[in-house]
Amino acid sequence: MYGTINSFSEICCLEAEREFSRQIKEEIEKKEKEYILGVDENEYQSYLIEKHKLEPLKIYTESETIDTPRVSKEAVGHRHGYTDWRELYLFRVKYSYTGSSLLFRVKPNPWTMTSAEVVVTDDTVSFSVRLYNKDADEFKREKASKFSNAFTNLDNVNKFVEEWNRKLSNLVNTYFQQQKKKYLEENSFFEAINVKVNEDTKSVFTVPVIKKKVVPQPTVASNKELSSVPTISNAMYEDILKIIYELGKSMEKKPSLYKSKNEESLRDHFLSFLETRYDATTATGETFNRNGKTDILLKYANDSSNLFVAECKFWKGAVELQKAIVQLLGYLTWRDSKTALILFVQNNNFSNVLQTIKEGVRFACIRTFRTLEADKFYPPVLLPKAQVAFCLCLISTLIVI
């Protein structure tokens, strides 16, 4: 409901068009990135066009109703200390209408210099007629004059509607594509980070003559899933795990590398190689990240965003495994989706350790997530996004499961 306005003279058509355009632009900009990049473009744009399309105004003169007049006294002069009064009849004439009610405010171009005070509701538009005499013909003349003043610009404003609706499709598409382009450009950071493998390290842990497979570079497929969470590519993540695996196998031939060493010393072997393995990365140990210091933190050198987080532990049973998982996830922020738990297993019967982990790791994860949720160490809504690899490291071998 607009209330009382001056018909077709409140806001010029150019200003109205700018306001309508701003509303469309703001509506698109308020949508989340996942929505803009994931929604069916044609369906969403059709929805916006339908929502912001203007309906031409039509006044139904046959629906005319005239309320019982409000009678009052009006002073007309003073004589000999007395005030002269006359009766004033105020009629309210109403019409039903269809179309976009906001158009009653728009001053079209061209515009005929006439207007009248009207009251607009959701389904009626009305004006008042003032009458001093009980004269039916005079009332009809006054009503016709007021109707003409109020609605002379009706046809002109409907031409504005036609022009707006004609350009609406291109306008919606332009704003949508601008926002989509912005998000796609922004995702140059949020998508898989293209970290190239250092050429000098590609064949360090390979059998002679057999060339190590080059780490694949990320490519944009037509059905690529766009993620709002910064992450390394799966190819690089798999390469990191493979390097950890191969480094563990290499250590079995060199007991001096692990004999009588603690977690920090063993960690440094993995840390030093990961740091030189990839271009444009830095690797640090005992680095603060969220709720504590993580053993291994691989960062993208350009913007210091986390690529990979790992924690190293000696195997001490299923209960300690659960504690280690809690500790690892406690280090993660919402941006950290590629992690690993590296376990150094010194038990003689490695098969029993594997069996214990296979039976207990799922139970440990469930309890861990419940514990994290209860203690509010980690936002529950983000738990499904965590991609945690559990790496078992025996001094004589290392297995990734």
Contact 198, 283 (CB under 8 A): no
Instruction: Decide if 185 is inside a domain.
Output: no
pLDDT in tens, 179-209: 999 888 876 665 555 556 566 555 444 444 3
Q: Which domain holds residue 70?
A: 3-179
Give the pLDDT mean for 12-32.
Answer: 94
pLDDT at residue 400 greater than cutoff 80:
no
Whether residue 58 is contained in a domain is answered as yes
Confidence band (pLDDT; 50, 70, 90) for 256? confident
- Out of 123, 152, 179, a domain closes at 179
At 40 the pLDDT is 86
Based on the fold, state whether residues 79 and 223 are members of the same structural domain: no
Number of compact structural domains in the chain = 2
Highest mean pLDDT among 12-16, 355-359, 375-379: 12-16
Query: 172 and 263, same structural domain?
Result: no
DSSP string, 179-226: HHHHHHHHHHHHSEE-PPBPGGGTTTTS-TTSPPPPPPPP---TTPPP
Which one has a higher pLDDT value, 39 or 369?
39
- Do residues 215 and 167 share a domain? no
Looking at the fold, whether 270 and 392 belong to one and the same domain comes out as: yes
| Band of residue 41 on the pLDDT scale cut at 50, 70, 90 | confident
Q: Are residues 132 and 197 in the same domain?
A: no
Looking at mean pLDDT, say which of 144-148, 292-296, 339-343, 374-378 comes out highest. Answer: 144-148
Confidence of residue 22 (pLDDT cuts 50, 70, 90): very high
Task: Compute the average pLDDT of residues 284-288.
Answer: 62
Q: State the chain's mean pLDDT as an integer.
A: 77
pLDDT, one tens digit per residue, over 125-159 is: 999 999 988 899 999 999 999 999 999 999 999 99
Can you tell me which residue has the tokens 């002679």?
208
Half-sphere exposure of 249 (CA within 13 A, CB side): 12
Please give the backbone phi and psi of residue 345, each rounded to the nearest 5 degrees, phi first: -105, 120
Radius of gyration of the chain from its Cα atoms, rounded to whole angstroms:
38
Q: What is the pLDDT of residue 401?
A: 38
pLDDT band at 61 (very low <50, low <70, confident <90, very high): very high
Sorting pLDDT into bands at 50, 70 and 90, what band is 38? confident
Binned at pLDDT 50, 70 and 90, residue 279 comes out as confident
- 74's enclosing H/E stretch is strand 70-79
Domain end call among 179, 211, 240? 179
Which residues, listed in sequence order, are joined to residue 120 by a DSSP beta bridge?
3, 125
Asked if residue 381 and residue 248 are part of one domain, the reply reads yes
Domain match, 40 and 157 both? yes
In this predicted model, what pLDDT tens digit does every residue of 313-355 receive, in sequence order? 888 888 888 888 878 777 777 667 788 888 888 777 777 888 8
Assess whether 260 and 334 both reside in one domain: yes
Instruction: Give residue 18's pLDDT.
Output: 95
The predicted model scores a pTM of 0.49
Same domain, 269 and 139: no
Q: What is the mean pLDDT of residues 45-72?
A: 93
Question: Considering only 24-33, 160-169, 306-315, which range has the smallest mean pLDDT?
Answer: 306-315
Query: Residue 345: is it exposed, middle or buried by C-beta count within 10 angstroms (0-12/13-18/19+)?
Result: buried
Which of 146, 179, 212 delimits the end of a domain?
179
pLDDT surpasses 60 at 398: no
User: Mind giving me the DSSP string for 120-180?
Assistant: E-SSEEEEEEEESS--HHHHHHHHHHHHHHHHTTHHHHHHHHHHHHHHHHHHHHHHHHHHH
What confidence score (pLDDT) does residue 101 get? 93
248 and 121 housed in the same domain: no
CB neighbours (10 Å) of residue 206? 12
Residue/partner pairs of 177-186 with CB below 8 Å, 24 or more apart = 179/28, 179/29, 179/31, 179/36, 180/36, 180/37, 180/41, 183/33, 183/36, 183/37, 184/37, 184/226, 186/33
The alpha carbon of 343 is separated from its chain's Cα centroid by a whole number of angstroms, namely 38
Most confident of 6-10, 322-326, 365-369: 6-10
Give yes or no for residue 231 having a pLDDT over 70: no
State yes or no: pLDDT of 242 exceeds 90.
Answer: no
Residue 184 within any structural domain of the chain: no
pLDDT at 216: 36
Least Cα distance to 291 among 261, 257, 328, 237 occurs for 328
Q: How far apart are CA 180 and CA 36, in angstroms?
A: 6
Residues 8 and 65 occupy one common structural domain: yes
Dihedral sign (CA 207, 209, 215, 220) = negative
Which of the residue ranges 105-109, 227-231, 282-286, 326-330 would you say has the lowest mean pLDDT?
227-231
Q: In whole angstroms, give the CA distance from residue 394 to residue 390.
A: 13
pLDDT bin (cut points 50, 70, 90) of residue 223 is: very low
| The amino acid at 215 | V
Are 87 and 215 in a shared domain?
no
pLDDT number for residue 13: 95
Tell me what percent of the residues of the chain surpass a pLDDT of 90: 34
